[in-house]
Amino acid sequence: MRKIYIFDTTLRDGEQSPGVNLNTQEKVEIALQLEKLGVDRIEAGFPAASPGDLAAVNAVARAVKNATVIGLARSREQDIDAVREAVKGAQDPGIHLFLATSPIHRKHKLRMEKEQVLETADRMIRYAKQYFDKVEFSPEDAGRTELDFLCQVTELAIKAGATVVNIPDTVGYLTPYEYGNIFKTLKENVPGIETIQLSAHCHDDLGMATANALAAILNGADQIEGTINGIGERAGNTALEEVALALETRSDYFQAKTTLNLKEIAKTSRLVSKLTGMPVPGNKAIVGANAFAHESGIHQDGMLKEKTTYEIISPDTIGLKDSKLVLGKHSGRHAFREKLVDLGYESLNEEQVNAAFGKFKDLADRKKTVSDEDIRALLEEKLTETPEIYALEQLTVAFDSHETPSATVRLKIADRGIVEKQSKGNGSVDAIYQAIDALAAEAVELDDYSIKSVTDGTDALGEVHVVLKQGELSAQGRGVSTDILEASARAYVDALNRLVDKRKAPARGRRDNMTLI
């Protein structure tokens, strides 16, 4: 079996998803989970984008021990220097350099002739090579680049010292047949191609990112780039969990495999969803809530007789357990601790277990049975450590379909103590947010609000995500409760705390304002 290298760009291309802005602590948390998952390479960010991005890549570089940590750079010396600075301290550092090659990008974006593109790529790869053993070069928009020119660029990149040449379908335009054919053509025509690795990087604009990545593998790609849950620019990138499971389940066909620890997939997916605030659709392949759910009577009957009738992947493969241990209000600390170990939270300290147990008992008083998902939601809320400037002490909401709703919010504010405010609003959530705004006096704008149910039933836990904006800054917050109004208040307060925390952290300009060469 051929090994396929996994290049994870959740922290770079994934973070380019609209509305997503991870802070350093969140990036490190995701990177450490990616390391557990066993990805070979982690693209941690775009250091030239801002001092904050550089600092975050540096923190990831220092934390990760078992994967190559890579920074992205345009073909400019100052970008390459920023990556050098950012990956200082990495066990195994690398750089990812890109320059657009397609006629559209040459004409409208770069305003360069082919010769200038070749000259710039050659000069910048050689510059990077002075400082890095591992240099990946991407001809951006390779998918719409003339094939003979792409062969020429690839040959030049190899001669200049690139160790990986990546073929981005930047705008998600190609079909699997066309994308696979690029790899076949490069393999057959470029001198020295056997000395480097070829990489696939696909976007999902036409819903073909995973199929294209697999077509690349069939035609000789050594590495797949992608993100967890397929997040990324516009419609996103190749979902790495889909490629990994396709290779695992159909190894008979692909004759290739990753060295990922597949049992970490479910946990990694949940963490990325939580920290980015991007919910995973229920019907999403591999990691969607319904991926292993069987609804119709005929399917259920088949499953009970023999699982393989309707199940091609066992949930256990990606680390989902069908646990028999049901927790409720009579469960004790021992059963709770066993459940934590079962769910993969074995490294919690005594204080964290006690705090989680308290929350679990509160929930068990309100809910007949507490499911694995409830416990995960409680724990993950508890484990996010942002300094608490604002804490929700009490919430009272008055709703009558003939009256304007009102909410009374009591907050504990660092340095000010307990404060309380009653406000009316255009709905209960609006009333709550008006009261919090009046107390916190932070001048924020609500940029996004979403709500989902963590488990089934009318007593399910509700999870609310909000994004707050304050000038250039934005922060997301998350709140979980059996009551959606309380979850809404908690999410808002969480976002306020993160916003204050961000304001104190080094400036993080957005890359959206940057010109690309």
Annotated binding site for Mn(2+): 13, 201, 203, 237
Instruction: Decide if residue 227 touches ligand KIV (CB under 6 A).
Output: no
Residue 494 in tokens: 């969480």
If contact means CB under 5 to 8 A according to the sort of partner, which of ligand KIV, Zn ion, none does residue 274 touch? none
The residue among 467, 477, 274 whose CA lies nearest residue 386 is 477
Residue 513: CA atoms inside 13 Å, Cβ hemisphere, count?
7
69 burial (CB, 10 Å; 0-12 / 13-18 / 19+) is buried
Q: CB-wise, 144 or 359, nearer to ligand KIV?
A: 144
The residue among 181, 170, 228, 179 whose CA lies nearest residue 204 is 170
260 burial (CB, 10 Å; 0-12 / 13-18 / 19+) is buried
Give the residue, chosen from 170, 219, 238, 268, that forms a contact with ligand KIV under the rule CB under 6 A. 170
Residue 58 in tokens: 């540096």
11-70 residues near Zn ion, rule: CB under 5 A: 13
Q: CB-wise, 168 or 479, nearer to ligand KIV?
A: 168
Minimum distance of ligand KIV from residue 494's CB (angstroms) = 31
Instruction: Decide if residue 140 touches ligand KIV (CB under 6 A).
Output: yes
Instruction: Decide if residue 225 touches Zn ion (CB under 5 A).
Output: no
Minimum distance of ligand KIV from residue 27's CB (angstroms) = 17
Minimum distance of ligand KIV from residue 203's CB (angstroms) = 6
472-491 residues near ligand KIV, rule: CB under 6 A: none
Instruction: Decide if residue 98 touches ligand KIV (CB under 6 A).
Output: yes
Q: Is 422 left (phi over 0), alpha (psi -120 to 50) or beta?
A: beta
Minimum distance of ligand KIV from residue 270's CB (angstroms) = 25
If contact means CB under 5 to 8 A according to the sort of partner, which of Zn ion, ligand KIV, none does residue 140 touch? ligand KIV
Instruction: Decide if residue 138 touches ligand KIV (CB under 6 A).
Output: yes
Residue nearest Zn ion, Cβ-based: 13
Strand blocks (E) in 132-248: 135-140, 164-169, 197-202, 223-226
Instruction: Decide if residue 201 touches ligand KIV (CB under 6 A).
Output: yes
313 burial (CB, 10 Å; 0-12 / 13-18 / 19+) is middle
Number of H helices, E strands in the chain: 17, 16
- From the list 9-17, 176-184, 241-249, 270-278, the region that binds Zn ion by CB under 5 A is 9-17
288 burial (CB, 10 Å; 0-12 / 13-18 / 19+) is middle
Minimum distance of Zn ion from residue 57's CB (angstroms) = 17
Q: What is the CA 301 to chain-centroid distance, rounded?
A: 36
- From the list 7-15, 36-44, 243-251, 488-496, the region that binds Zn ion by CB under 5 A is 7-15
Label the pairing between strands 41-45 and 5-8: parallel
Minimum distance of ligand KIV from residue 506's CB (angstroms) = 24
- The residues that touch Zn ion, with contacts defined as CB under 5 A, are 13
- The residues that touch ligand KIV, with contacts defined as CB under 6 A, are 13, 98, 138, 140, 168, 170, 201, 203
